[in-house]
């Protein structure tokens, strides 16, 4: 039985369709960090790590971003169109990204899942991932006063 989809590298030409998929997918949080300009930078710094799934007809039905920091791999925005779920597309995207990260020597990978994304948590558990309850993610805006595209005056050290 042949697959009704194919996995290939995420290219900038996939941005609009992927962004629309992410917007339509529950549990995906989008921000200025996901602008076209930022995505170009992300993809150029993480060549060969992000992937899309195309249906047999050629439409984009899944997308996954991946990166590495030299020590660990990270996955972001894994989404499959509702009409194409439960066909192995999400797992295939994850497998492809993990193989690419392994080729770079990464031995561990993390994904950030929104706390209220129950369906996403079920998916990750089903494919063998475990929830980390011993850490808390903390964030800080590096660019103070950033505009909607993430551009701003630059980071300022607070003086106490």
Cβ neighbors of 153 (< 8 A, separation 6 or more) are: 143, 144, 145
* Mean pLDDT, the chain cut into blocks of 10 residues (160 residues total): 83 98 95 95 97 96 97 97 95 97 96 91 94 88 62 53
What's the pLDDT score for residue 30?
95
What's the pLDDT score for residue 37?
97
What's the pLDDT score for residue 1?
40
Helices (H), the chain: 15-24, 36-45, 89-103, 118-126
What's the pLDDT score for residue 90?
96
- Pair of tokens at residue 26: 């529950």
Give the Cα separation of 20 and 24 in Å (integer).
6
Structural domains present in the chain: 5-126 (3.40.630.30)
What's the pLDDT score for residue 105?
96
pTM confidence score: 0.84
Specify the residue for token string 């993480």: 46
CA distances from 118 to 26, 27, 41, 45, 124 (A): 10, 8, 31, 31, 10
What's the pLDDT score for residue 63?
98
């Amino acid at each position: 039985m042949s697959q009704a989809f194919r996995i290939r590298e995420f290219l900038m030409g996939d941005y609009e369709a992927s962004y629309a998929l992410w917007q339509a997918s529950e549990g995906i949080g989008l921000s200025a960090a996901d602008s076209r300009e930022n995505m170009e930078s992300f993809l150029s710094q993480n060549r060969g790590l992000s992937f899309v799934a195309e249906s047999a007809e050629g439409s984009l039905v899944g997308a996954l971003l991946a990166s590495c920091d030299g020590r660990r791999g990270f996955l972001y925005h894994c989404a499959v169109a509702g009409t194409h779920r439960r066909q192995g597309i999400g797992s295939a995207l994850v497998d492809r990204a993990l193989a690419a990260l392994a080729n770079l020597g990464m031995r561990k990978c993390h994904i950030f899942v929104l706390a209220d994304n129950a369906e996403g948590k079920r998916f990750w558990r089903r494919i063998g991932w475990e929830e980390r309850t011993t850490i808390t993610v903390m964030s800080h805006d590096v660019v103070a006063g950033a505009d909607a595209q993430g551009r701003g005056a630059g980071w300022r050290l607070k003086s106490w």
